[in-house]
């Protein structure tokens, strides 16, 4: 089991293997862990499908596994891992994030207070929200 830190998701333990810069995720659990599913059309998230380029087929698809790292890099998104390849992070698409900010729709998030209770921004819909950041440092 490896630890996967997907953008927008909590840390998850996934039955993946890592080899160098490759992160091989069993296709069966891919969608639940990442939101992307392997379909005949390619790798799909909802209605969006990224066809598997012929030249990358052997790199992206290994037996019953998908090379999530290669796919993520292909999307132009950050992929990093620790030295032992046990913890991986698949980060955000900067362009997508920027485009969303330009729509002025406030990105949703959920964070805990000191007691551990989680608050979600979208739960405040219907109220005007003054969102303020600060830090102890």
Binding site for other proteins (CB under 8 A): 3, 5, 7, 11, 76-83, 87, 89-95, 97-98, 101-102, 104-107, 109, 111-114, 119, 121-122, 124-137
Which one, 64 or 82, has the nearer CB to other proteins?
82
Answer yes or no: are the C-beta atoms of 30 and 38 closer than 8 Å. yes
**Nearest distance from residue 117's CB to other proteins, in Å?**
8
Which one, 42 or 78, has the nearer CB to other proteins?
78
**Nearest distance from residue 41's CB to other proteins, in Å?**
26
Q: Which residues of 111-128 are buried (b: 16+ CB within 10 A; e: fewer)?
A: eeeeeeeeeeeeeeeeee
Which single residue is written with the structure tokens 């290669």?
A: 70
Which one, 46 or 98, has the nearer CB to other proteins?
98
> Beta strand 118-120 with 87-90: parallel, antiparallel or unpaired?
unpaired
Contacts of 6 (CB under 8 A, 6+ apart): 12, 33, 34, 35, 90
Which one, 26 or 78, has the nearer CB to other proteins?
78
**Nearest distance from residue 45's CB to other proteins, in Å?**
17
DSSP 135: -
């Amino acid at each position: 089991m490896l630890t996967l830190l997907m953008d927008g998701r909590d840390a998850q333990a996934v039955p993946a293997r890592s080899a160098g810069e490759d992160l091989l995720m069993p296709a069966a659990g891919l969608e639940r862990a990442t939101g992307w599913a392997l379909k005949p059309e390619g790798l799909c998230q909802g209605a969006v499908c990224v066809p598997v380029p012929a030249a990358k087929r052997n790199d992206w698809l290994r037996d019953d596994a998908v090379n999530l790292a290669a796919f993520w890099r292909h999307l132009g998104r950050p992929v990093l891992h620790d030295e032992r390849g046990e913890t991986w992070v698949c980060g955000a698409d900067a362009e997508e994030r920027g485009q969303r900010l330009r729509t002025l729709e406030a990105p949703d998030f959920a964070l805990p207070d000191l007691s551990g209770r989680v608050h979600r921004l979208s739960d405040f819909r219907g109220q005007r929200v003054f969102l303020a950041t600060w830090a102890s440092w």
